[in-house]
Chain A
Amino acid sequence: MSVGLRHPLLDAAEKVTGALRFAGDLKVGGLLHARLVHSPHAHAVVRSVDMGGALAVAGTKGVFWHGNTPRFAYNSAIWYEGQEALEDERMFPAVARHVGDRVAAVVAETPEAADAAARLLGIDYQILPAVLDPQEADRQGGPPRDAAGVPTYRSPIVEVRFERGEIGSAFVGPDRVFETTVSTPKTHHCAIEPHVAIASPTEDGRILVLSPCQSVFGVQVVVAKALGVPVDRIQVRMTPIGGSFGGKAEPILEPLCAHFARALGRPVTIRYDRHETCIATRMRSAARGTVRTAFRRDGRIVARHTEVLVDVGAYCTGGDYLPGSMLQRHVRLYDIPHERYRGRAVYTNTTPTGAFRGYGSPQINAIGEIHLDLAARDLGVDPVDLRLRNVVAPGAIEPYTGVSVGNARIRDCLVRGARSFDWTRRRTNGQGTGRWRRGVGMACAAHINGCYPGSDDATTVAMHLRADGRVALLSALHDLGCGSNTSLAQIAAGTLGLRPTDIVIGPADTALCDYDLGTRASRMTYVAGEAVRRAADALGLAIRRAAARLLNCGLDDLVLKDGAVLVPEAVDMPLAALAAQLGARGIDLPQVSESHRSRDNPSSHAAHFAAVAVDSLTGLVRVEEYLAVHDVGRAVNPMLVEGQIHGGIQIGIGYALFEDVDIDPASGNMNGDRFSRYHMANAPEMPGITVELVEQGEPTGPYGAKAVGEIATIPVAATIVNAVNHALGSSLTDLPLLPERIVAALP
């Protein structure tokens, strides 16, 4: 049975040998190269572009700017045609809204010629005052659209309010009330592969876009919208991706690349370097949240009031649903009778933000879990006990969307983690009085499985038996490098009695695959996995039917195992032999197409524990030990699950201790715009990690499986911050915990 197997990534050998070709490696005949020019100003009118010098450079094929490019408004975060969104983006805006906004482009025969010509563009800017501080943006409010529906770039973009119970009276009379304000930084995705796109005109007059993306259909609708052409004029094929973490969820270069190819009649590529990927793509939004919670003396939460301000940067992208997403994750972790939430998203003149592993969850989790830990300290209740008194039980209804949290096993994660970590003893050990102070901390998390009920979440999987006895799986699947294709192949193989390597998965392509909304919202294992399981189930039945007809035996006597049909009291028939015999008789090979529409959204859960040492003189933090306990329902591939958790912890440690894009408050320039000035947690900073899995099975998931990719990073920052606050007796709440901030907090 291949479900539960520690199977290596299907494309691991190709990746480590360099055989896999990424978009930047592809050799395309007649390829032109585009170089984009980005605004050096945080807010400025682009009055004119003098292109004389650039056009004189040999090899220059075209210069583009807002004066000669379609001005169709779009929102890069949509994923289906007709989706409502605040359309405040253009390929080239007439007003640059952040340092790094797109001002012009040169397309030339070689990258060198494009570079040289781009340097010769004479761009005339009229500088406007910039708003860089989200609180200032919030004060200068106004409707984000005018009466005619035109974007005004005023804030808030959205305000989400939620209320449950009797919040007004709930704060009157409880034993204790605590309030904390936590702020989280903007951070970069730091995928190894920078952003890249290729677009080519096809012979039948369409544009083929090759892109390492998270949704070919999302790219297709955004490109069509930006170019003002029908969707069927655009074909999108996913290229192997060198990491995304949400950074490639929105098409950024694809509309421009497609337009250049269409205008010039030649294939065009745009390849961003690291600096451009930092300043001109997407980041994690910054959040500032205040939580006020009323407790009974024993630690039971009576009421909670949360106010969150989210800085989404210069364009809306998906910022209008971000406060709602944060709310959805915030209220599915603890059972709180009286709850009030208000979340606002505001514009600033900084690089836009967008999807990033957890989509708002790491922000709201840090806010809630750091607050809860400080409250536990003041209440004199152990942080694990406090959480055990309040976590949701299996089958609880998440109050915002009204959907069940399913077989939610957060209590098991907490109990098991506390025991494995020897929490109680270590928590009561002294921190030490010397230079290095030691502390332990923990945090819990809840995350979603798919888009239901906020958005329709359906996927279609076609499968057929191939002549060689293997099985082809066709669906718009986007493996972002985490190994989702390997897990899905394991699900299919397990159902069909095959090996995972017998499942042949083609690239996502709008021309070949049915609609799918892409890799997002932790939906691959849970939603796509269930679609694959159903399709494999149906194909298995079709194969046995065909074999039963051929062999003139009962359907129920046949079993699929080890790549063959097992026939009672006869020789096994390998699937290749079955395919050959069917072919010889002129019978079509078995094929199926199954759709699955998710009607549930259970929670995935985690409890994380960390031990840290803090240098009380220099403020440096060392994470010395880490335990991650995850409720995954069932691990389809425990090795890949552990890999996801290890990577999630690496991103989370950076979020807690190192990472901040650090926008200069005067100029709007990004200080952390390259790896020499933007520090992630590198290998020497990584602690030893222990992973424990709670596998109690989710009845609605394939083989009981739930998501792990996003939740792996969600509780990490709060875990580390809580451990540091335990070590120092401090109340640090501003992320990241830079040494300067730690030293300043010490007496």
Chain B
Amino acid sequence: MTELQFVSPSRLDELQALIDSSCSGIAYIAGGTDLLVTGADMAGKRLLVDLSRLPELALVESRADGIVVGAATTVAELCVNPLVRARVPLLARAAEQCGSLQIRNRATIGGNVANASPAGDLLTALACLDARLHLMGRGARSRVVSVDEFVRGPRQTVLEAGELIARIEVPASRSDALYAFAKLGRRREMTVSMLNLAAVARPLAAGNGIVDLRLFAGAIGPRPRRLIEAEAVFEGCEQTPEILRAFLDALVCAVERAIPGRASMAYKRKAVVGLGQDLLSALMQPPLFNAADRTGGAAE
């Protein structure tokens, strides 16, 4: 039996030294909401590194074209952080629907992404926002990947031994952006997504409609899936009942194509119609968040 050591570095250079010294037997913990509950197999691990004491990993910073979120930022922080709410409100919206209040208080964005659950709520939103994951590895090696590249399969990622997610860079949404996150679970709170949808778009300059819709679905494959056909339905159109119907039909087709032969398909292809309606009604509402808004819209 190998002894498992627990370390809580407080500076990034200490973390780098730990990675360099023992990358093969290293495991990471941040909020612990997955690791401590699932009792992940730690066989062969010698070092458990706590990422929750590193200030650099919990920062949310503004950049010219977006924000950078430290991987150890809690999901609860994403719900209330003014920069997140003002510049990438979709991420705040998805964060509000993750887990339960208690889980949001502990769980981190990096942990949710690294877990690579097919039902992960933040993954769908981050894919939709075209986020870039900054990975940190041995010998100060760093690389940047998209969500699509990061997730190799169900609960499988491109992370190499010792490598971790350090920061997540999220391009800012336009100030007039429309956004929505819709989730379907068995319960209202503390529930795993059976389906989730994330969308950003812009209002049609003249008339009632949207343009530049970017739409992703979660829990219908190993990684968030972009629904290009459904996106295209709206392009440049006035919103009419026919268009709405065509959009919902496109969602049904997308589910049928994504999980053919799966037992859950019969239900999901029907339920996605309801979820699509929820998404559109949220998308068409005037933005709830702006830089001055610190409280409105948050759950609880």
Contact = CB atoms under 8 A, between A and B. Distances in A.
B188 A685 contact: yes
Interface in B245-300: 264, 266-267, 270-271, 273-275, 277
Interface string A386-423: 00000000000000000000000000000000000000
B184 interface: yes
Interface of A: 116, 435, 615, 617-620, 658, 676, 679, 681-685, 738-740, 743-744
Given A676-B37, A744-B266, A618 B271 contact: yes
A335 B267 CA distance: 42
B189 A617 contact: no
A676 B117 CA distance: 13
Contacts of A685: 187-188
15 contacts: A435-B274, A617-B273, A618-B270, A658-B187, A679-B186, A679-B187, A682-B100, A684-B190, A685-B188, A739-B267, A739-B271, A740-B266, A740-B267, A743-B271, A744-B266
A169 B189 CA distance: 54
Contacts of A681: 187
A744 B267 CA distance: 8
A684 B190 CA distance: 9
B192 interface: yes
Nearest to A622: B188
Contact of B275 (A116, A618, A676, A743): A618
Contacts of A658: 186-187
Contact of A619 (B187, B264, B271): B271
Nearest to A681: B187
Contacts of A615: 274
Given A684-B188, A685-B188, 7 more contacts: A615-B274, A618-B270, A676-B192, A679-B186, A679-B191, A682-B100, A685-B187
B206 interface: no
B1 interface: yes
A618 B193 CA distance: 13
A599 B270 CA distance: 57
B121 to A, nearest CB: 15
7 closest cross-chain pairs (CB), A and B: A617-B274, A618-B274, A740-B267, A684-B189, A618-B271, A684-B188, A743-B270
Contacts of B194: 739
B38 to A, nearest CB: 8
Contacts, number: 52
Contacts of B277: 435, 617
Contact of B267 (A676, A683, A684, A743): A743
A617 B187 contact: no
A743 B186 CA distance: 13
A682 B187 contact: yes
Interface string B177-205: 00000001011111110100000000000
B264 to A, nearest CB: 8
A623 B38 CA distance: 31
Given A435-B277, A676-B37, A618 B184 contact: yes
A701 B234 CA distance: 70
A679 B191 CA distance: 8
A744 B271 CA distance: 11
Nearest to A742: B267
Contacts of B192: 676
B33 to A, nearest CB: 11
Nearest to B263: A740
B119 to A, nearest CB: 11
B225 to A, nearest CB: 19
Interface residues of B, number: 22
A538 to B, nearest CB: 51
Contacts of B38: 676
A554 B188 CA distance: 67
Nearest to A682: B190
Contacts of B190: 682, 684
B267 to A, nearest CB: 4
A303 to B, nearest CB: 40
A116 B264 CA distance: 38
A622 to B, nearest CB: 8
A676 B274 CA distance: 24
Interface in B146-200: 184, 186-192, 194
A684 B270 contact: no
A681 B186 CA distance: 10
Contacts of A743: 267, 270-271
A389 B1 CA distance: 71
Nearest to A677: B192
A619 B271 CA distance: 8
Contacts of A744: 266-267
Contacts of A618: 184, 270-271, 274-275
Nearest to A683: B189
Residue among B37, B191, B266, B267 with most chain A CB within 10 A: B267
A188 to B, nearest CB: 16
Contacts of B1: 116
B180 to A, nearest CB: 16
A684 B186 contact: no
A618 B186 CA distance: 10
Nearest to B270: A743
Contacts of A676: 37-38, 192
A682 B271 contact: no
Nearest to A619: B271
A435 B281 CA distance: 13
A747 to B, nearest CB: 12
B275 A684 contact: no
Given A116-B1, A676-B37, A617 B270 contact: yes
Contact of A684 (B37, B184, B187, B273): B187
A116 B275 CA distance: 47
Nearest to B192: A676
A166 to B, nearest CB: 47
B245 to A, nearest CB: 14
A192 B186 CA distance: 22
Nearest to B276: A617
B246 to A, nearest CB: 17
A410 B1 CA distance: 64
Contacts of B275: 618
Given A435-B277, A744-B266, A617 B271 contact: yes
Contacts of B100: 682
Contacts of A738: 186
Interface in B50-79: none
Contacts of A740: 264, 266-267
A722 B209 CA distance: 42
B167 to A, nearest CB: 29
Contact of B186 (A435, A683, A739): A739
A588 to B, nearest CB: 56
Contacts of B184: 618, 620
A744 B265 CA distance: 12
Nearest to A273: B39
A676 B192 CA distance: 8
B271 to A, nearest CB: 4
Nearest to B267: A740
Contacts of A739: 186, 194, 267, 271
A679 B188 CA distance: 11
A685 B191 CA distance: 12
Contacts of B187: 658, 679, 681-682, 684-685
A653 B39 CA distance: 30
A679 B189 CA distance: 11
Nearest to B189: A684
A685 to B, nearest CB: 6
A489 B191 CA distance: 41
Contacts of A617: 270-271, 273-274, 277
Nearest to B191: A679
A598 B128 CA distance: 68
Contacts of A116: 1
A430 B189 CA distance: 29
Interface string B20-40: 000000000000000001100
Interface in B76-122: 100
